[in-house]
Amino acid sequence: MGSVAKDVLTVIFGLTGVLFFIGGTVGLLRCPDLYSRLHPATKCDTVGSCSITIALALQIGLDIALFKIMVVILLLLVTSASSGHAIGRSAFKTGVMPWHKKGVVPWPLKGEDRWTGR
């Protein structure tokens, strides 16, 4: 691949990663509760870090370090989704209530009606 094309693809992947990181940060600041914050924390950061890592791999070229970078990308894809699921599941099991509008219960507790909370 030509040097200019490689540099252009590197910039595109790098900027894509930065934009996803910014979007994830805004999502963390704007979302009201743990459950909705998990989405930008896991998805945007995974795509952002993978995009920046791909940009790094393009600059390295064919080398043993490229294999290491691909292993890092694979680990990012697996661990981010798994940790987000584990955090959400443990929060649900311990009774962390999600944000909801007044008068609406997000899920019924034992023997309660979903809409009235009684």
13 has a pLDDT exceeding 90: yes
- Range with top average pLDDT, 10-19, 29-38, 84-93, 100-109: 10-19
DSSP conformation letters of the chain? --HHHHHHHHHHHHHHHHHHHHHHHHHHHH--SHHHHHHIIIIIHHHHHHHHHHHHHHHH-SSHHHHHHHHHHHHHHHHHHHHHHHHHHHHHHTTPPPP--TT--SS--TT--TTT--
109 has a pLDDT exceeding 90: no
* pTM score, whole prediction: 0.76
Q: What pLDDT score was predicted for residue 4?
A: 92
Q: What pLDDT score was predicted for residue 63?
A: 86
Proportion of the chain above pLDDT 90, given as a percent: 39
pLDDT (mean) for 108-112? 60
pLDDT digits (tens, 9 = 90+) for 51-83: 999 999 999 888 898 899 999 999 988 998 899
